[in-house]
Amino acid sequence: MSEDDPILTTREAAQLLGVAVSTVQIWMESGALPAWKTPGGHRRVRLSAVRQLQSRQHEEPPLPDAPAPQAPTAPVAASVAPLPTFDGPSGHALLDTPPEEVFDRLVRLAAHVTGCPMALMTVLTPRRQWFKARTGVELAETPREWAFCNGALATGETFVVADAAGDPRFAANPLVRGAPHVRFYAGVPLEDVQGRRFGTLCVLDREPRRLRERELRALRELAEIACDEIRRRG
């Protein structure tokens, strides 16, 4: 190990950057801060990578902080859709619940019928985009400001981005610039028994593309199955 470029822990990187440890973890997972994991599962990063990120922060809008993002890296497709007030201390009843096969199966089917390598079932709060189910994506959540799903929640309709890298609303988004390198997005809003929009069933690709009408219809039908399951639970 070079003394001029030592290896840092996540906490040491957070102290240098002046942000929360959870924020650094999200930057590492998104690729904004190159890092790796030790055999024991601990994240490590070179000092040089931290210095490079500091330099970019002086030149670009700041990356959002995970607990309370104030300045998104990129504008989203639509203004962040206001969410209804959900009962309970943590928001929607699905938030932070364990994986469930019924929803895992739906995201796998969504990826299969559209030919997309990634699919998600998302739950949004004013600050978080959490993934109830996912395939092809390692991230478990992102800051709300990064969410393509804002467009679907704002309109209440299927929301499609054909090429995020060429779209000024998304080109600087960390999910486009870094892992998982999103280029295509299609999301259908999900509603609970009271008709409140709280998240989406969505598919993503690393290449620009379009979906056929039958693929969009299948995605909507799978989203309706997810809604039926949620409504059945009350």
- Residue 106 vs residue 90, higher pLDDT: 106
The backbone region for 168, taken as left when phi is positive above 0, alpha when psi lies in -120 to 50, beta otherwise, is alpha
Q: What is the average pLDDT across 198-209? A: 96
pLDDT digit string (tens) for 57-66?
555 444 444 4
Set out the domains of the chain in order of their start, with CATH numbers. Answer: 7-59 (1.10.1660.10), 101-232 (3.30.450.40)
The percentage of the chain sitting over the pLDDT mark of 90, rounded to a whole number, equals: 54
pLDDT digit string (tens) for 38-64?
888 888 999 888 888 777 655 544 444
pLDDT digit string (tens) for 169-181?
899 999 999 999 9
Residue 75's pLDDT is 41
pLDDT digit string (tens) for 137-155?
999 999 999 999 999 998 8
The percentage of the chain sitting over the pLDDT mark of 70, rounded to a whole number, equals: 82
Question: Nearest CA to 47 among 65, 35, 29?
Answer: 35
Q: What is the average pLDDT across 224-230? A: 94
Residue 83's pLDDT is 54
Residue 72's pLDDT is 40
Pairwise CA distance, residues 222 & 37, whole Å = 36
Residue 192's pLDDT is 87
63 CB neighbour count, 10 Å cutoff: 26
Pairwise CA distance, residues 185 & 42, whole Å = 31
The answer to whether the beta carbons of residues 198 and 124 sit under 8 Å apart is yes
Residue 79's pLDDT is 47
Lowest mean pLDDT among 91-95, 115-119, 198-202, 224-228: 91-95
Give whole-number Cα distances, 182 to 24, 26, 118, 159, in Å. Answer: 20, 16, 9, 15
- pLDDT, the chain, mean: 83
Residue 185's pLDDT is 98
